[in-house]
Amino acid sequence: MATPLHVLGFAGSLRKASYNGAVLRAAVELAPADVRIETFDLHGIPLYDGDVEAAGLPEAVQRFRARIAAADALLIVTPEYNYSMAGVLKNAIDWASRPPDQPFRGKPVAIAGASAGGFGTARAQYHLRQTCVYLDMLPLNKPEVFVSAAHQKVDAEGRLSDEPSRAAIRALLEALAAWARRLGRA
């Protein structure tokens, strides 16, 4: 068996009962045998402030950057707010991308998202892709995972129980592993 692919996954929502948190937990559960997903909680990353940065990167930001740098690939799960990615996610990416040595460069990345709406975070994911390209990440093009009507697909225990959505996440992770290996990341 190949060396396990180390994926760092994070969700751009802080809500305890987040549908995107459910997608991330499902990804951990559904990861292929040759993929290990470590998750990072974005709680504790302060709002970006250049004055704070000038005094030194906050400890939570340092941890986040280190985990990104150590990963072979990334899985970003984004909610959609006002046709774009959540401010929590954008803020974390902004902090992590600060010089020197921003850790996103050359990272294969898969994107997923869940919402109660009918488009399942499609617009947010396309905005996130623009940010990924600017930061020299290498986004996986397909499959795309847009979990729509998530309020009907996440059960009372916070588990993504919808089998087609789970199959889509499994396919995304298999494709991410193949993409990362093709790029020589693992």
User: Roughly what angle, to the nearest 10 degrees, separates helices 163-182 and 19-30?
Assistant: 60
Q: Provide the b/e sequence for 95-119 (b: ≥16 CB within 10 Å).
A: bbbeeeeebbeebbbbbbbbbeeee
Backbone angles phi, psi at 62, to 5 degrees: -60, -45
Question: Could you say which residues of the chain have pLDDT below 70?
Answer: 1-2
The mean pLDDT value of the chain amounts to 96
Q: Cβ(98)–Cβ(59) under 8 Å?
A: no
Quick count: other Cβ atoms within 10 Å of Cβ 30? 19
Backbone angles phi, psi at 172, to 5 degrees: -60, -45
* pLDDT at position 1: 54
Q: Classify strands 145-147 and 108-114 as parallel, antiparallel or unpaired.
A: parallel
DSSP, collapsed to helix, strand or coil, labels residue 48 as coil
The CATH fold of domain 5-182: Rossmann fold (3.40.50)
Q: Where are the domains of the chain?
A: 5-182
* pLDDT at position 186: 75
Could you give the percent of the chain with pLDDT greater than 90? 96
Q: pTM score, two decimals?
A: 0.96
